[in-house]
């Protein structure tokens, strides 16, 4: 049967990227998605904004919702201080299988913990599973209708503390209107929009950065 898009992306990485070099894995994926086949990675333009927020926060505990092929997990983990780990949740086992191989190829497997399952099931177990109290940084890039219920769940599970940073992809395209309305109007968040473009296209999209005020 025909290969899947994530499998073709993995093959391009194994063929063209330098093993153990996260930047070359990132560049190879961006080249493939721009010149061969579009894929829903955060991409290079929004990825630079993601990088700057990760560097600014320099998180001790970081969570990503929606691994897909592992592109943003590699982007985030390559910037984390030694001894810190990114926990990334993926629902789709086929995506997870490809992401594990891309993460391993980049050499960052010791800085990334990929967990398969639904965010709604896993978030309430995070403190016991990973021995964490609160999260310094959360990157939301999974199903767009899960952003709002999942941050409410993060609040309920007391995984956010005063100053926790949420960064959400695709708030314009495909769009997360209920999430945007919530973080922009809730007194518990200070929100800022970073205008950009849908990965590898000229379509408008952007990232919303929200600080939890406690
Ligand atoms: O759907 C997206 N991303 C989500 C994939 C995913 N990968 N994993 C999950 C998951 C879903 C439940 C989960 N529960 C726990 N982990 C979970 C993970 N969802 C997405 C779509 C687009 C896009 C834009 C324009 C178009 F014309 C077509 C598509 C662009 C993007 O940047 C995206 O991120
Ligand atoms: Mg996205």
pTM of the model as a whole: 0.98
- 10 Å CB burial of residue 107 (0-12, 13-18, 19+) is middle
Q: Looking at residue 13, what is its pLDDT?
A: 99
- What percent of the chain clears pLDDT 90, i.e. is strictly above it? 98
Could you tell me which residues are beta bridge partners of residue 204? 197
> Ligand 1, atom 1: nearest CA belongs to which residue?
143
In the numeric block, which tokens belong to residue 150?
A: 């999942």
Q: How confident is the model at residue 19 (pLDDT cuts 50, 70, 90)?
A: very high
Q: Looking at residue 59, what is its pLDDT?
A: 97
What are the pLDDT digits (tens) for 158-212?
A: 999 999 999 999 999 999 999 999 999 999 999 999 999 999 999 999 999 999 9
Q: ipTM beyond 0.95? A: yes
Q: Which of 70, 141, 150, 206 has most ligand 1 atoms within 8 Å of CB, for mutation?
A: 141
Contact 75, 148 (CB under 8 A): no
Q: Which residue has the tokens 């910037």?
A: 79
Q: Which of 91, 99, 151 has most ligand 1 atoms within 8 Å of CB, for mutation?
A: 91
Q: Please tell me the distance from the alpha carbon of residue 79 to that of residue 54, in angstroms, as a whole number.
A: 7
Mean pLDDT taken over the chain: 98
Query: Is 94 annotated in the active site?
Result: no
**Ligand 1 atom nearest to CA at 92:** 8
Q: Looking at residue 1, what is its pLDDT?
A: 84
Query: Is 170 annotated in the active site?
Result: yes
In the numeric block, which tokens belong to residue 214?
A: 């406690």
What are the pLDDT digits (tens) for 99-111?
A: 999 999 999 999 9
Q: Which residues of 169-180 are buried (b: 16+ CB within 10 A; e: fewer)?
A: bbbbbeebeebb
Closest CA to 203 of 174, 168, 177: 174
Ligand nearest to the CA of 63: 1
**Ligand 1 atom nearest to CA at 203:** 25
Ligand nearest to the CA of 39: 1
In the numeric block, which tokens belong to residue 52?
A: 């700057």
Sign of CA dihedral 22, 28, 34, 37: negative
Contact 91, 121 (CB under 8 A): no
> Ligand 1, atom 5: nearest CA belongs to which residue?
142
Quick check: 77 pLDDT over 90?
yes
What are the pLDDT digits (tens) for 119-154?
A: 999 999 999 999 999 999 999 999 999 999 999 999
Q: Please tell me the distance from the alpha carbon of residue 128 to that of residue 152, in angstroms, as a whole number.
A: 19
**Ligand 1 near 72 CB (within 6 A):** no
């Amino acid at each position: 049967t025909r290969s899947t898009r994530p499998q073709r992306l993995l093959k391009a990485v194994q063929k063209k990227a330098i093993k153990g070099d996260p930047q070359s894995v990132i560049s190879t994926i961006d080249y493939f998605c721009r010149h061969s086949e579009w894929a829903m990675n955060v991409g290079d333009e929004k990825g630079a904004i993601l990088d700057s927020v990760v560097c600014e926060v320099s998180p001790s505990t970081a969570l990503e919702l929606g691994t897909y092929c592992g592109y943003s997990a590699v982007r985030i983990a390559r910037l984390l201080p030694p001894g810190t780990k990114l926990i990334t949740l993926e629902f789709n086992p086929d995506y997870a299988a490809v992401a594990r191989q891309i993460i391993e190829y980049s050499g960052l497997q010791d800085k990334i913990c990929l967990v398969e399952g639904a965010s709604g099931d896993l978030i309430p177990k995070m403190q016991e599973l990973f021995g964490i109290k609160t999260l310094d940084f959360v990157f939301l890039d999974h199903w767009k209708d899960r952003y709002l219920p999942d941050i409410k769940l993060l609040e309920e599970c007391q995984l956010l503390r005063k100053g926790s940073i949420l960064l959400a992809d695709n708030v314009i395209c495909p769009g997360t209107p209920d999430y945007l309305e919530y973080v922009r109007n809730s007194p518990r968040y200070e929100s800022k929009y970073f205008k950009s473009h849908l990965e590898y296209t000229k379509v408008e999209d952007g990232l919303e950065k929200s600080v939890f005020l406690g």
